[in-house]
Amino acid sequence: MALTKEKTASVVNNFGANDKDTGNTKVQIALLTERIKQLTEHCKTFKKDKSASRGLLKLVGQRRKLLKYLQRTSLETYRALIKELGLRK
């Protein structure tokens, strides 16, 4: 369940400096968040799909590592991104 090209492009445009800025930490975290939302809905529907559940946990861990890096390097950007994505309410 990968993201569509249109959804990926819109996320990159919203969080990146330009449309080619896919390596930016903010963009990577936003893309992971979108994939996590999709997989969460999938796992709610198909409870016995253990490979999807494992993939979801791997994505959450990867996003957590990137968030820790962003918090360590730029606290203001971290706080703004958390608020914009709606994480940690």
| pLDDT confidence band for 1 (50 / 70 / 90) | low
Considering the entire predicted model, what is its pTM? Answer: 0.92
Print the domain residue range for 72: 49-89
Instruction: Give me the helix-helix angle, 75-85 and 50-73, nearest 10°.
Output: 140
75 within a domain of the structure (yes/no): yes
**Per-residue pLDDT tens digits for 52-68:** 999 999 999 999 999 99
**Per-residue pLDDT tens digits for 20-53:** 889 999 999 999 999 999 999 999 999 999 999 9
User: What is the C-alpha to C-alpha distance for residues 11 and 34, in angstroms, rounded to an integer?
Assistant: 9
63 within a domain of the structure (yes/no): yes
Amino acid at 17: A
User: What is the C-alpha to C-alpha distance for residues 77 and 79, in angstroms, rounded to an integer?
Assistant: 6
